[in-house]
């Protein structure tokens, strides 16, 4: 995608990215999308998700490409004295440093916040980890499925008669990446006013816990431990996924006004006088099995498109359940530029997700693909190709 003619909101911002896997790279991707100079520093043998598929024909990881566009890439051995000094020189004028090591690792590597702030007092130091910096479990490694389990989400996902099921995509990684980015921008705003840098500490488990909605007040207020409830919402009814002739459709009837419209669409005005369904509270209480089965029997008579047209005309929230091909090709995704092309130096054309937050004056864009391993070593470290080759032989880069 060609670079945008308008100014970039974060142009001039220098971000040093030590992150790996998904949550940290997803955070720093935002900065790159809006014009920051994101310098991704990897171990000499590359970060872990370069080994995660799917792979392009040249062996480059599609997973890595997904979260590392708009970044320059360099390698460095932080365990070497020379490499550590090169890193210190790099962060002297950095605005943001992002890392997602488990607790205790940055201290061992001598790149923790207290060390870095002595080199650069104005640094915004973003630490993303499974359990945060002050938990009795800070030392533990963590992946998304662990965060979903310990944050309380996994127990809420799935059907009553099934084992717990994780949410499909890595929501702990993605959401904590967003929290890291938002935290960093809040800290930058504070720095603009005071000149003061600070530590931003985000935990994946905290992130999941913050997303539990009514499950928390259900317990705190009523002592009720929420359980798996499939696609049914515990506070709204009807709010479910229904079978059609050719698949499934999701619908949400969130208030009495919409319930009135929904009954008319179904041709069931009699339900408006049914004492079991006259308020949302009653509909939630009596949804299973009576109301659920009634709606299921009705939706099975129609295709997804027919139901979508009826619901849209009545202004009732609904949407067909789409597979990946259908979602990518959907008119909404196309209109919002949510899939973009980008040229990779070895893989060629790459096609992946676009920029979500559309800014009118300083829009984000996908300008270049994820770097190959060590692609920008010379320009990041300010060295010649001969010097880079020597440092590589020494195991420094």
Could you give the CA distance from residue 278 to residue 280 in angstroms, rounded to a whole number?
A: 7
Could you give the CA distance from residue 316 to residue 242 in angstroms, rounded to a whole number?
A: 14
Could you give the CA distance from residue 342 to residue 142 in angstroms, rounded to a whole number?
A: 31
Q: Are 230 and 213 in contact (CB under 8 A)?
A: no
Greatest CA separation found in the chain? 83
Pairing relation of β-strands 198-203 and 239-244? unpaired
Q: Which of 37, 144, 173, 201 is catalytic?
A: 173
> What residues are paired with 242 via a beta bridge?
249
Give the Å distances, CA to CA, from 367 to 34, 36, 70, 106, 321: 10, 12, 6, 32, 32
| Run of H or E residues at 240 | strand 239-244
- Per DSSP, the residues of 77-137 read -TTSHHHHHHHHHHHTT-SEEEE-PPTTHHHHHT-SHHHHHHH-TT-EEEEEESS-SSSTT
The radius of gyration of the chain from alpha carbons, rounded to an integer in Å, stands at: 25
36 closest CA partner among 17, 64, 63, 62: 17
- Annotated catalytic, 256? no
- Per DSSP, the residues of 6-75 read SPPTTTT-EEEE---TTHHHHHHHHHHHTT-EEEEEE-TT--GGGGSS-B-TTS-BHHHHHH-TTEEEEE
DSSP label at residue 162: S
282 closest CA partner among 319, 345, 238: 238
DSSP label at residue 157: S
Catalytic annotation, residues = 173
């Amino acid at each position: 995608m060609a670079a945008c003619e308008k100014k970039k909101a974060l142009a001039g911002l220098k971000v040093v990215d030590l992150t790996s896997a998904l949550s940290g790279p997803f955070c720093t991707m935002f900065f790159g999308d809006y014009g920051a100079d994101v310098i991704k520093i990897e171990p000499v043998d590359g970060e872990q998700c370069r080994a995660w598929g799917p792979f392009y024909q040249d062996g480059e990881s599609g997973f890595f490409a997904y979260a590392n566009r708009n970044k320059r890439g360099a390698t460095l051995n932080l365990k070497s004295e020379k490499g550590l000094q090169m890193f210190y020189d790099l962060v002297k004028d950095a605005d943001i440093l992002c890392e997602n090591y488990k607790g205790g690792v940055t201290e061992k590597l001598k790149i923790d916040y207290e060390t870095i702030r002595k080199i650069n007092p104005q640094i915004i130091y973003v630490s993303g980890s499974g359990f945060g910096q002050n938990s009795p479990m800070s030392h533990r490694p963590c992946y998304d499925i662990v965060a979903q389990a310990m944050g309380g989400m996994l127990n809420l996902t799935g059907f009553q008669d099934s084992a717990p099921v994780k949410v499909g995509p890595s929501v702990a990684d993605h959401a904590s990446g967003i929290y890291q980015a938002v935290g960093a921008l809040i800290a930058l705003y504070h720095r603009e006013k005071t000149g003061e840098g600070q530590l931003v500490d985000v935990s994946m488990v905290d992130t999941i816990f913050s997303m539990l909605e009514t499950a928390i007040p259900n317990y705190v207020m009523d002592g009720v431990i929420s359980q798996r409830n499939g696609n049914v919402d515990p506070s709204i009814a009807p709010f479910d996924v229904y079978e059609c002739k050719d698949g499934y459709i999701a619908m949400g009837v969130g208030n009495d006004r919409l319930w009135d419209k929904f009954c008319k669409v179904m041709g069931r005005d009699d339900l408006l006088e049914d004492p079991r369904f006259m308020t949302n509270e009653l509909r939630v209480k009596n949804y299973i099995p009576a109301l659920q089965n009634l709606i299921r029997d009705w939706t099975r008579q129609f295709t997804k498109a027919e139901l979508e047209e009826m619901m849209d005309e009545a202004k009732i929230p609904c949407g067909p359940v789409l597979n990946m091909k259908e979602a990518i090709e959907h008119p909404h995704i196309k209109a919002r530029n949510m899939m973009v092309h980008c040229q990779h130096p070895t893989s060629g054309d790459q096609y992946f997700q676009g920029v979500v937050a559309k800014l009118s004056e300083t829009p984000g864009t996908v300008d270049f693909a994820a770097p190959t391993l060590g692609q920008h070593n010379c320009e990041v470290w300010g060295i010649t190709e001969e010097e880079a080759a020597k440092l590589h032989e020494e195991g420094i880069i």
